[in-house]
Amino acid sequence: MAIFAKNSLTQVSGFDNPIIAGELVWEQSTYWNLTITASNNTTPIDLTGATIDAHIIRRALSNILDTRNGLTFDIANYDPPPSPIELTITNRDDAEGFFTLVIGNDTWDVMDDDPELDINAQECVGFSGRIKISFPAVGLTPQNDYIIFLLFLVRSDGIVVEG
């Protein structure tokens, strides 16, 4: 599992915002079970009435270095600009503040011939995005959005897929 330098994560999420970051292998399916809790980190926040959506978008990564403090890199818009990819939210339990974020094979929308998926590529494929939980206004409490940032580096596993 990759360890990211704090400065690299700050490029994506800011100083104090939550982030899910990881290094994945192309076509890897995985998921994260998430529970949204109050500031005491034990009391679940009721998600009833909230909408949850998650998206990632292809990014250009450069200057990737594995340092003593973790991976460092520069992140920028990918050219040509791609469309965002919607991620699946399942297993929602509003009362427990729980849901599952899913990444499957079709999520990546990365073609077999992407040059950054070559086993000897200097710069790997990158995606950034967010989970947005939108709470409606209730009584005197105004509408509120809770954001969790996402950052995924995707590497080749060295297997060539014939198209």
Stretch among 3-7, 92-96, 123-127, 146-150 having the lowest mean pLDDT: 3-7
How much is the pLDDT for 162?
47
Name, of 107-111, 140-144, 159-163, the range with top average pLDDT: 140-144
Closest to 62 (Cα-Cα) out of 124, 118, 115, 154: 124
Domains, the chain, ordered by start? 6-155 (2.60.40)
Angle at 99 between CA 125 and CA 153, to 5 degrees: 10
Confidence of residue 1 (pLDDT cuts 50, 70, 90): very low
Confidence of residue 136 (pLDDT cuts 50, 70, 90): very high
pLDDT tens-place string over residues 88-110:
999 999 999 999 999 876 676 56
